[in-house]
Amino acid sequence: MKAVLFETFQEAPKLVTVPDPVPDAHGVVLKVAATGVCRSDWHGWMGHDSDIELPHVPGHELAGEVAAVGKDVRNWKIGDKVTVPFICGCGSCSECHAGQQQVCLHQEQPGFTHWGSFAEYVPIHQADLNLVALPEGMGFDTAASLGCRFATSFRAVIDQGKVRAGQWVAVHGCGGVGLSAVMIAAAAGANVIGVDLDPVKLVLAKEIGAVAAIDGHKADVPGAIREITRGGAHVSLDALGHPVTMTNSILCLRPRGKHVQVGLMLGEHAAPQVPMPKIVGQEIELLGSHGMQAHRYGAMLDMVASGKLDPARLVGERISLDEAPAALMAMDSFRSVGATVITRF
Ligand SMILES: [Zn+2]
Ligand SMILES: [Zn+2]
């Protein structure tokens, strides 16, 4: 099969031909129909992820068709159209037994713990636990954009932030995760404020449901949010993963507000300074959010089917597999609006 592979961190990945994968007894092999290019892939390529063994094929935001089925798989057959959370549970640890596969103790992540979906085929383990059937009529490109950023935002807003109608929600960073969070929080009935450095992304944030947009260049972003909200946001997300957006997110909250850290903080940003006096004095909750387990996809897909959520609006450029190396290496420049998805193989 064709695959995008890198042999050394930070050196240009190449389009190469490698052997086709075969499924485990409990796994499947998917023929990839669409796969998103994500900043997490960039982190992996930079060498920020200790799970990656070289040589490596990135890619974790995927949708496709079941092409081969292991002998112990019960629920899936060749030709089924599916997607998969980027964190796949093992099915046998305490967290998986509790239904919290997104923090599985032995989790597998295509594109990190094994070769991913910047390829014609990708193996997925524990298929009965981890695969999600696509609803009728959903395109592969839209489905690919759900698995990482949109699902992550759904869990961050609904399951971790527990956003309710009428609350103020601030979203710091309006890239793929942030715009998804704006759309989901607005659909949940919240008043959403988007913050970004890029005016184009702020326009899109307002189009998909933000009631206010703030230029991140502003000297006092938290002050501006506390003013608009008359006291601070109830829930605030750092959707980027940077010390500045994290700090702004904590400082823009009202007493007893919730900060949800969604953007990864790796490399030089792995141990940021946290404004602890506010956390203690105002009983702020600090929450992490990391992916979403397969069994929660139903709630999100129902909101897509009913028209309350429209992830297709967040798909940006569609590119081919041979354009993937350049797109991956450019992921840190934040230029793209919406998710770049590989749809030609
Ligand atoms: Zn991703
Ligand atoms: Zn597990």
CA-CA-CA-CA torsion sign (80, 114, 239, 313): negative
Question: Which bin fits 193, alpha (ψ -120 to 50), beta or left (φ > 0)?
Answer: beta
pLDDT of residue 336: 67
DSSP state, residue 345: -
The C-alpha angle 321, 325, 328, rounded to 5 degrees, equals 110
Structure tokens at 175: 């890239």
Question: Cβ contacts of residue 87 below 8 Å, gap of 6+?
Answer: 101, 102, 103, 104, 107, 108, 109, 290, 291, 293
- Angle at CA of residue 108, ends 91 and 119, nearest 5°: 130
Residue 266, pLDDT score: 85
Q: Tokens at residue 140, please?
A: 């592969």
pLDDT band at 99 (very low <50, low <70, confident <90, very high): very high
The total number of residues written for the chain in this structure:
345
Residue 91 Cα to ligand 1 midpoint, Å, equals 22
C-alpha angle 146/151/153, rounded to 5°?
A: 120
| φ, ψ for residue 119, nearest 5 deg | -165, 170
Task: List, for residues 174-188, the tens digit of each pLDDT value.
Answer: 988 999 999 999 999
Rounded distance from Cα 85 to ligand 2 centre (Å): 14
For the chain, the average pLDDT equals 95
**What is the rounded CA–CA span in Å between residue 190 and residue 310?**
17
Query: Which is more confident, 305 or 100?
Result: 100
3-state secondary structure (DSSP) of residue 91: coil
Residue 64 CA to ligand 2 centre (angstroms) = 24
User: How far does the centroid of ligand 2 lie from the alpha carbon of residue 115, in Å?
Assistant: 19
Ligand nearest to the CA of 126: 2
- Tell me the average pLDDT across 309-328: 93
Per-residue pLDDT at 131 exceeds 80: yes
Distance in angstroms (rounded) separating the CA atoms of residues 13 and 127: 29
Residues with CB under 5 A from ligand 2 (ion): 89-90, 93, 96, 104
Of all ligands present, the nearest one to the C-alpha of 43 is 1
Q: Degrees (nearest 5) of the Cα angle 319, 326, 172?
A: 85
